[in-house]
């Protein structure tokens, strides 16, 4: 079916005059111009924290991403320096892009030791699609999406992060942990 655009817009006499409407439009743009031009002055003098333009000078100036932001997935590291991961492999299965590779390690029956841990835990960020399914699948609160998105490399091989590179202290992830708890509790898992 053809798509018809109604060109017969009813314009008032004032709008047909065209000049007043131009002046109105230029009023809007020049209002923005002067607000932004002179709004900088208190910012530069230091009396005002925020300048009127929302755009930031990106590499020099960064904004706090919202907590729901999905950056690169990282491994949570417990207070005693061990990964919280038990190498169950659920994230490996949940991953739609197959970017996680886990080789589990088990203890030899000694007391006061972790039962299972990942010997090898690789995430290839060149493959990862940042969907967050691993975080959702994890039963041990071990893998989380961080707010870090600056993972560009010159070499594709460097995109493969090993366990040591992935480990992040759990204290740094506290906000995201609480956020995931709230979010997944709502969905009745």
Q: Which residue from 11, 41, 53, 153 is in contact with other proteins, where contact means CB under 8 A? A: 53
Strand partners, 73: 145
CA distance 37 to 43: 11
Give the range of 4-12, 20-28, 69-77, 142-150 binding other proteins by CB under 8 A: 20-28
Q: How far is the CB of 48 from other proteins (least distance, A)?
A: 17
Which one, 5 or 185, has the nearer CB to other proteins?
5
Which one, 60 or 115, has the nearer CB to other proteins?
60
Q: Does 93 bind other proteins (CB under 8 A)?
A: no
Which one, 38 or 184, has the nearer CB to other proteins?
38
Q: Which residue from 9, 19, 63, 185 is in contact with other proteins, where contact means CB under 8 A? A: 19
Q: Does 48 bind other proteins (CB under 8 A)?
A: no
Q: Which residue from 11, 14, 15, 25 is in contact with other proteins, where contact means CB under 8 A? A: 25
Three-state SS across the chain?
CCCCCCCCCCCCHHHHCCHHHHHHHHHHHHHHHHHHHHHHHHHHHCCCCCCCCCCCCCCCCCCCCCCCCCCCEEEEECCCCCECCCCCCHHHHHCCCCCEEEEEEECCCCCCCCCEEEEEEEEECCCCCCCCHHHHHCCCCCEEECCCCCCCCCCHHHHEECHHHHEEEHHHHHHHHHHHHHHHHHCCC
Which one, 29 or 111, has the nearer CB to other proteins?
29
Q: How far is the CB of 32 from other proteins (least distance, A)?
A: 5
Q: Does 29 bind other proteins (CB under 8 A)?
A: yes
Instruction: Report CA 166 to chain centroid distance, whole Å.
Output: 16
Instruction: Report CA 1 to chain centroid distance, whole Å.
Output: 42
Which one, 63 or 171, has the nearer CB to other proteins?
63
| Contacts with other proteins, residue ranges (CB under 8 A) | 19, 22, 25-26, 28-30, 32-33, 36-37, 53-55, 57
């Amino acid at each position: 079916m053809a798509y018809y655009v109604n060109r017969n817009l009813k314009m008032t006499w004032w709008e047909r005059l065209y000049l007043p409407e131009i002046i109105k439009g230029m009023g809007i743009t020049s209002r923005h111009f002067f607000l932004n031009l002179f709004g900088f002055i208190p910012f530069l003098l230091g009396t005002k924290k925020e300048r009127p333009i929302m755009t930031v000078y990106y590499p020099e100036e960064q904004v706090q991403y919202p907590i729901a932001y999905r950056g690169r997935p990282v491994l949570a590291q417990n207070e005693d320096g061990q990964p919280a991961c038990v190498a169950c492999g659920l994230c490996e299965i949940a991953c739609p892009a197959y970017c996680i590779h886990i080789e589990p390690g088990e203890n030899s029956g000694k007391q006061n030791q972790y039962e299972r841990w990942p010997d090898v835990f690789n995430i290839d960020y060149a493959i990862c699609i940042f969907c967050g399914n691993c975080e959702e699948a994890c039963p041990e609160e071990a893998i989380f999406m961080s707010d870090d998105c600056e993972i560009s490399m010159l070499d594709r091989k460097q995109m493969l992060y090993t366990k040591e590179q992935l480990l992040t202290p759990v204290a740094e992830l506290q906000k995201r942990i609480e956020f995931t708890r709230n979010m997944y509790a709502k969905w009745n898992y």
